[in-house]
Amino acid sequence: MSTLKSEFKAVPDQNDLAALPRDLRFHPATNDRPRHLTREQIEQFNRDGYIGGLTAYSPDEIGDIRAYFDRLLANAATGPIVRGRKWTDASTGDE
């Protein structure tokens, strides 16, 4: 019976990264007919490396997302703590 050895590493080390043929130089973004960003925004990105002031979510959407994360945080702070395969009540220490 033969076994196959995987050459895949989930996290490459520095030697692996150094061996890759990569071009990490900055290449300015170009777009002759921008549809979503203005030419000024593209120029700002090429100059500064970022674009600010973009609206990703409406105020209502942000409110829903914030409420969701608030619930997650509240549950994480007061919910059971997992230790191995046993559940422990964080407030009492009871299993």
The residue with greater pLDDT, 61 or 92, is 61
C-alpha span between 49 and 63 (Å, rounded) = 29
Half-sphere exposure of 4 (CA within 13 A, CB side): 3
In the numeric block, which tokens belong to residue 74? 């509240």
Output the pTM of the full model.
Answer: 0.46
The residue with greater pLDDT, 8 or 30, is 30
C-alpha span between 42 and 65 (Å, rounded) = 29
75 near 57, Cβ under 8 Å? no
- Positive or negative torsion for Cα 80, 85, 86, 90: negative
